[in-house]
Structure 1
Amino acid sequence: MAEIVILGAGLGGLSMAFAMRKAARTEDHVTLVSDDTHFHFVPSNPWVAVRWRKRDDVSVELQPVLDKKHIGFDATGAKRVHPERNEIELADGRTLAYDYLIVATGPKLAFDEVEGLGPQGNTVSICQIDHAEQAASKWDAFVADPGPIVVGAVQGASCFGPAYEYAMIMDADLRRRKIRDRVPMTFVTPEPYIGHLGLGGVGDSKGMLESTMREHDIKWICNAKTTRVDAGHVFVTEHDDLGQERRKHELPFRFSMMLPAFKGVDAVAGIDKLTNPRGFVIIDEYQRNPTYHNVFAIGVCVAIAPQEATPIPTGVPKTGFMIESMVSATAENIRAALDKKEPETRATWNAICLADFGDRGVAFVALPQIPPRNLNWSSEGKWVHLAKIGFEKYFLHRMRTGSTEPAYERLLLDLLGAKKLKS
């Protein structure tokens, strides 16, 4: 019998729990550890932040679902992982022993790296459901007394899609209220160009997103380093393609959302040979830590080097499709270890993204995520908005029922058609 512990109950962690229970032997114990009693569908947070969704619409209570799948659950949260003795120190002082550990915590949000950034400072966030609800409250006050908006991401950020989504969703909500003409909007990003996305672009993402932002009267500043945020002003230094300072901007705002950079969570950050200097878990091609072979990692907490140097630092996003491939590979490799075999399954690390713009949207597919690619495709239209709504419903149903069917693979096939994908 083996004790298999999964740390984190987000998109990757909950999917991992279902997949691992299916892959493990009958006698093995699978336990999910989280600091929350609910799963929250993070891609819906931009909708929550303008009250197009409520918390209950995008949340799943974990205990009943996990009980049905015979998966243990502990919502105490982890204080520290001790890989040298195969234990997790929980937040209440108890310890949990494991034979295999899968780290799926997601990131720590590095608001502290920019003065005045984040919900405890002068900007809102859509990174967590609590943050999105706080943003919705501030949105209520804003639409009653509108003014300039500054939206985007700061240096070191790696997940740019939600920033574009939220900018366009705010735009759509303001137009519905017929007050868009009272709201100048500026998009600030460390990307070298609009649509870079931390991936060197996908298909014609640059052209499509630039065109969309022009159509919706959104100005932008690229190669931007956000130096601080005061109450009502974002201070930005714009750089050229060589990284040299071009000009400084002092952008007034009445409402601002800037995505932060990510770091590894405190439970694993700073552990020698387990994590890198940013606290992300180091893995080999089998999702396994090279030093601690019984520790695996999936999702945003995984260390991935930027695919290219940019004038202002940008990270590599870990998309849902990519995370699902990590989940499948990890489950197969741990089962191989349980059977006294060497791991041999590698994650595909492909990317698929649906960016909703309120009444239309843009879809991106990159196979693999890091160039050069076998498939480099993008498209736009009202169908993307409808597809994201449908996918939200399908994914939440999957989490509520414990399905192990790959959700993003199904979506990809629907988007491209099996024949085109195979070709």
Structure 2
Amino acid sequence: MAHIVILGAGIGGLPMAFEMKENARPDDKITVISNTPTFHFVPSNPWVAVDWRDRDEIELPIAPILEKKGVDFIAVGAQRVHPEQNQVELSDGRMIAYDYLVIATGPKLAFDEIEGLGPQGHTHSVCHVDHAEHAREAWMQFVADPGPIVVGAVQGASCFGPAYEYAMIMETDLRRRKIRDKVPMTFVTSEPYIGHLGLNGVGDSKSMMESIFRDKSVRWICNAKVTKVEAGLMHVTEHDEDGKPKKDHTLPFKYSMMLPAFKGVDAIFGIEGLVNPRGFVLIDEHQRNPRYPNVFAVGVCVAITPPEPTPIPTGIPKTGYMIESMVTATAHNIRALLDGAQPHEHATWNAVCLADFGDRGAAFVALPQIPPRNVSWFSEGYWVHLAKIAFEKYFMRKMKKGTSEPIYERVVMKAMGIMKLKDH
């Protein structure tokens, strides 16, 4: 019998538990460790932040889901991973031994790297449902007395889609309230151009996103570094293509949402050979850590080198479809090791994204996510808005049932009407 521990119970961790249970031997034990008793669907947070969703619509209790699957669950956060001893130290002092460990923690949100950034400072976030609820409270006050908005992603950020989504969702909500004319909007991003997305763009994303912003009267500042945030005032330095300071901006705002940079969580940060200097888990082509061969990682916590440097640092996003392929590869590779064989499965690292813009939306397909690609496609329209809503409901139903089927591959690709791209 082997004990397989999964650290984290989010979009990577829960599907990892489902697939590992299906692939493990009957007498193997699987345990999920999480610092929260609930799962929430992160892609719906922008809707929560403008009062289009309630928390209970995108949140599920984890324990009963895993109990039905025969998976143990510990709702206590990890204090420290000890890979030399094959143990996870919990915050309550317990030590959990493992034969195989899958790290699926997601990131630590590095608000502290910029003075005044984040929910404890002067900007909001949609990275967690707690933040989204706080943002909603502020949003309801804002629409009663509107003013300028600054929205975007700071230097080092690697997840740009939610910034575009939230900007456009706010814009739609303001139009519905008939107060859009009272709200100047500025999009601030570390990307070298609008629509870069940390991916060197996808298809015609640059011109299409610029066109959408122009149509919606959203001005933008690229190659931007946020130096400090004060109450109602953001200090931004715009850089040229060589990364040299070009212009300083002092942007007044009455409401702001800025995505932070990500780091590895404290439980693994600084462990030599396990993580890189930012705390992301080092892996090989089989999702396996080179130094600790019984440790795997999936999701946002994985270290991926950007395809090329940008004037201001940007990371690579890990989309749901990409994470799903990591999960499947990891489950099969651990089973191979259990059978005395060597890992052989590779994650596809393909990217499919549905971004809701309130009453329309944008979608892209990047196969693979990192250039050069076999497929690079970007489109927008009302159908994306509908597809995102349908996908949210389907995903939550499947998580509640504990399915191990490849949700993103089967549902998102079908919803976009491009199943024929699957073989590329």
TM over 0.5: yes
Correspondence for 1:12: 12
> Aligned-pair distance for 1:257?
0.5
> Aligned-pair distance for 1:24?
0.3
CA distance, structure 1, for counterparts of residue 226 and residue 84 of structure 2:
39
Pairwise mapping of residues 25-64 of structure 1 onto structure 2 (< 5 A)?
25-64=25-64
> Aligned-pair distance for 1:422?
3.4
Task: Give the conservation status (yes or no) of the 8 Å contact 1:190–1:222.
Answer: yes
Correspondence for 2:371: 371
Q: Which amino acid aligns with 1:199?
A: L
Correspondence for 1:389: 389
Correspondence for 1:126: 126
Correspondence for 1:341: 341
Pairwise mapping of residues 168-179 of structure 1 onto structure 2 (< 5 A)?
168-179=168-179
Question: Could you report, residue by residue, the CA deviation over 1:115-157 in whole angstroms, capped at 9, with x for unpaired residues?
Answer: 0000000001100000000000000110111000000010000
CA distance, structure 1, for counterparts of residue 388 and residue 382 of structure 2:
10
Correspondence for 1:261: 261
CA distance, structure 2, for counterparts of residue 233 and residue 39 of structure 1:
34
Q: Which amino acid aligns with 1:279?
A: G
Correspondence for 2:278: 278
> Aligned-pair distance for 1:421?
3.7
Any unmatched runs of 5+ in structure 2? none
SS in 2 for 1:369: coil
CA distance, structure 1, for counterparts of residue 180 and residue 205 of structure 2:
25
Does 2:411 match 1:418?
A: no
Q: Which amino acid aligns with 1:357?
A: F
SS in 2 for 1:352: strand
Correspondence for 1:24: 24
Correspondence for 1:332: 332
Pairwise mapping of residues 74-89 of structure 1 onto structure 2 (< 5 A)?
74-89=74-89
Pairwise mapping of residues 97-176 of structure 1 onto structure 2 (< 5 A)?
97-176=97-176
Question: Could you report, residue by residue, the CA deviation over 1:362-383 in whole angstroms, capped at 9, with x for unpaired residues?
Answer: 0000000000000001111000
CA distance, structure 2, for counterparts of residue 276 and residue 420 of structure 1:
34
CA distance, structure 1, for counterparts of residue 337 and residue 289 of structure 2:
14
Question: Could you report, residue by residue, the CA deviation over 1:265-298 in whole angstroms, capped at 9, with x for unpaired residues?
Answer: 0000000100010000000000000010000000
> Aligned-pair distance for 1:420?
4.5
Correspondence for 2:298: 298
Q: Which amino acid aligns with 1:259?
A: L
Task: Give the conservation status (yes or no) of the 8 Å contact 2:118–2:125.
Answer: yes
Question: Could you report, residue by residue, the CA deviation over 1:213-251 in whole angstroms, capped at 9, with x for unpaired residues?
Answer: 111110000000000000000000001111111110000
Correspondence for 2:312: 312
The Cα RMSD (Å) is 0.7
CA distance, structure 1, for counterparts of residue 420 and residue 292 of structure 2:
41
CA distance, structure 2, for counterparts of residue 421 and residue 20 of structure 1:
24
**Which consecutive segments of 4 or more residues in structure 1 shift more than 2 A?**
416-423
> Aligned-pair distance for 1:77?
1.0
CA distance, structure 2, for counterparts of residue 144 and residue 210 of structure 1:
29
Correspondence for 2:405: 405
SS in 1 for 2:324: helix
TM-score w.r.t. structure 1 length?
A: 0.99
Any unmatched runs of 5+ in structure 1? none
> Aligned-pair distance for 1:306?
1.0
CA distance, structure 1, for counterparts of residue 185 and residue 415 of structure 2:
34
Task: Give the conservation status (yes or no) of the 8 Å contact 1:124–1:258.
Answer: yes
> Aligned-pair distance for 1:181?
0.5
Task: Give the conservation status (yes or no) of the 8 Å contact 2:387–2:415.
Answer: no
> Aligned-pair distance for 1:307?
1.1
Question: Could you report, residue by residue, the CA deviation over 1:23-75 in whole angstroms, capped at 9, with x for unpaired residues?
Answer: 00000001110011110000000000001001100011111111100000000
SS in 2 for 1:11: coil
TM-score w.r.t. structure 2 length?
A: 0.99
Pairwise mapping of residues 158-237 of structure 1 onto structure 2 (< 5 A)?
158-237=158-237
CA distance, structure 1, for counterparts of residue 211 and residue 57 of structure 2:
32
Q: Which amino acid aligns with 1:383?
A: W
SS in 1 for 2:416: helix
SS in 2 for 1:385: helix
